[in-house]
Amino acid sequence: MKKPLIALVLLSQSIMADTFYLNDLVTPEESSGLNQVVKNLITHKIESEGHVVVTNKDKADSIVNPVLLKLGTSYIFSLNARGEHKNNFSVKLKDLDELDVVLKRSGEALLKEKSFASTKSIGEITAKEKDYVRQKSDVDIIISYGLGPGSLIGVEDRDGTVFSTNFGYGWQFDESMDLTMNWDFTTVTNTSRHYSSMFIFKGNYYLMKGNHSPYLSLDFGYGGIRDGESRISSWVYGAGFGYKMYRTSKVNFGLDVQYLQFSEVMNNKTPGALSAKFSVYF
Q: Residue 35 is part of a domain; what is its CATH number?
A: 3.40.50.10070
Of 264, 261, 220, which Cα lies nearest the Cα of 275?
261
Ordered DSSP codes for 91-152: EEESSGGGHHHHHHHHHHHHHHT--SGGG-BTTB--GGGTTTS--TTS-EEEEEEEEEEEEE
Residue 272 lies in a domain: yes
> Do the domain assignments include residue 88?
yes
Lowest mean pLDDT among 58-62, 145-149, 163-167: 58-62
This prediction has a pTM of 0.56
The residue among 149 and 72 whose pLDDT is bigger is 149
Report the distance separating Cα 139 and Cα 262, nearest Å.
31
54 occurs within a structural domain: yes
CA-closest candidate to residue 60, choices 20, 22, 14: 20
- Whether residues 175 and 106 share a domain: the answer is no
Both 60 and 144 in a single domain?
no
In angstroms, the CA 185 to CA 197 distance is 5
Same domain? For 157 and 212 the reply is yes
Q: Range of 152's domain?
A: 140-281
| CATH number for the domain that contains residue 160 | 2.40.160.20
Tens digits of per-residue pLDDT, 135-149? 444 567 889 999 999
Does residue 5 lie in a domain region?
no
Mean pLDDT over the full length of the chain? 82
Please check whether residue 7 lies inside any domain of the structure.
no
Q: Are residues 115 and 145 in the same domain?
A: no
